[in-house]
């Protein structure tokens, strides 16, 4: 059974970069929220604008996650967290179901 985690956990899945300069151009990210045995997640990517002063080899996941969160801003981060929580609530108490009445369960 997964432990409850009230705060979303962010990860960097991949980075696209210019080979010649090492400048990161796109960040691919995931965010997850767990509560009891339920898990919600989202995936996305953002383009990176401006100058990057940290050499590619010195970048850390923490730095990149900071970029992602800064890109979204607090209001959007709250929306993402609420959407993850809604996914979990829909798992706990589904509002819709799929299936065929004549198929074995």
The string of pLDDT tens digits covering residues 14-35 is: 999 999 988 999 999 999 999 9
Nearest to 10 by CA among 25, 26, 29: 29
Phi, psi of 10 (to 5 degrees): -100, 145
User: Could you give the C-alpha distances from 33 to 10, 92, 99, in angstroms and in order?
Assistant: 9, 14, 27
Residue 104 lies in a domain: no
CA dihedral for 92, 94, 99, 103, sign (positive or negative)? positive
- pTM for this model (two decimals): 0.83
Q: Quote the domain boundaries for residue 10.
A: 5-92
Residue 36 lies in a domain: yes
The string of pLDDT tens digits covering residues 43-71 is: 999 999 887 778 899 999 999 999 999 99
Total domain count for the chain?
A: 1
């Amino acid at each position: 059974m997964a432990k409850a985690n009230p705060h979303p956990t962010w990860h960097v899945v991949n980075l696209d970069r210019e080979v010649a300069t090492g400048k990161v151009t796109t960040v691919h990210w995931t965010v997850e929220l767990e509560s009891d045995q339920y898990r919600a997640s989202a995936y996305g990517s953002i383009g990176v604008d401006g100058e990057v002063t940290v050499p590619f080899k010195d970048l850390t996941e923490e730095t990149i996650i900071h970029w992602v969160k800064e890109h979204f801003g607090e209001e959007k981060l709250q929306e993402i967290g609420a959407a993850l929580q809604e996914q979990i609530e829909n798992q706990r108490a589904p509002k819709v179901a799929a299936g065929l009445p004549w198929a074995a369960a």
